[in-house]
Structure 1
Amino acid sequence: MKNSGSRTRSTLGLAGFLLVLVAAFVAQAEPPSFKLPGRKPDSKEPWGAFLGKAAHEAIGMEYRVQHPTNAVFLDPVNLYDIVEEGRLGDPERLSALVRLLRPDITDTDALVLFEIKPDNEEGRKEGREQAGRYLAALNEAVEPGKKLAGGTGFEGSLFLEFENGGALWQLSWRTPEPGVTLYRWSYRRKKPHASWKGRAAQKAEELPREEIEQRGELAEQAIRGAYEGGKRPKGFHGQVYLPVDCR
Structure 2
Amino acid sequence: MGVLVVLGITLSAYAQPPSSRLPGRKSESAEPWGAFLGRAAHDAIGRQYRIQHPTNLIFLGTIDLSTIIREGKLGDPNRLSALVKRLRPDITDTDALVLFEVKPDNEVGRRMGREQAGRYLAALNAAIEPNKHLSGGTHFDGSLFIEFEGGGALWQLAWRTPEPGVTLYRWSSRRPKPNTSWQERAAQKEEQLSQEEVEKRGELAERVLRAAYEGSEWPSGFRGQVYLPVDCP
Structure 2 length-normalised TM = 0.89
What does 1:80-159 correspond to in 2, within 5 Å?
A: 80-159=66-145
- Greater Cα offset, 153-162 or 47-56: 47-56
Equivalent residue, structure 1, for 2:199? 213
Q: Which amino acid counterpart does residue 144 of structure 2 have in structure 1?
A: L
**C-alpha deviation, 1:212, in angstroms:** 1.3
Task: From the superposition, tell whether residues 38 and 56 of structure 1 become closer, same or farther in structure 2 (CA, over 3 Å).
Answer: farther
What does 1:30-45 correspond to in 2, within 5 Å?
A: 31-32=16-17, 35=20, 37-38=25-26, 40-41=28-29, 43=30, 45=31
What does 1:187-226 correspond to in 2, within 5 Å?
A: 187-226=173-212
Q: What 5-or-longer segments of structure 1 have no aligned partner? A: 1-28
Percent identity of equivalent pairs:
69
Task: From the superposition, tell whether residues 133 and 38 of structure 1 become closer, same or farther in structure 2 (CA, over 3 Å).
Answer: farther
**C-alpha deviation, 1:121, in angstroms:** 0.2
Contact 2:149 2:224 (8 Å CA) reproduced: yes
- 1:232 pairs with 2:218: yes
Q: Partners in 1 of 2:148 and 2:93 — Cα distance?
A: 33
Q: What 5-or-longer segments of structure 2 have no aligned partner? A: 1-13
Contact 1:33 1:47 (8 Å CA) reproduced: no
Equivalent residue, structure 1, for 2:169? 183
- Greater Cα offset, 222-231 or 145-154: 222-231
SS at match of 1:170: strand
The root-mean-square deviation of aligned C-alpha atoms, in Å, is 1.6
Q: Partners in 2 of 1:33 and 1:71 — Cα distance?
A: 42
Q: Partners in 2 of 1:49 and 1:108 — Cα distance?
A: 29
**C-alpha deviation, 1:46, in angstroms:** 3.5
Task: From the superposition, tell whether residues 169 and 107 of structure 1 become closer, same or farther in structure 2 (CA, over 3 Å).
Answer: same
Q: What count of residue pairs does the alignment treat as equivalent?
A: 217
Q: Tell me which stretches of 4 or more aligned residues in structure 1 moved more than 3 Å.
A: 33-36, 38-41, 45-48
Q: Partners in 2 of 1:126 and 1:38 — Cα distance?
A: 32
Q: Which has the higher contact order (CA 8 A, sep 6+)?
A: 2
SS at match of 1:160: strand
Q: Which amino acid counterpart does residue 17 of structure 2 have in structure 1?
A: P
Task: From the superposition, tell whether residues 39 and 130 of structure 1 become closer, same or farther in structure 2 (CA, over 3 Å).
Answer: farther
Contact 2:36 2:206 (8 Å CA) reproduced: no
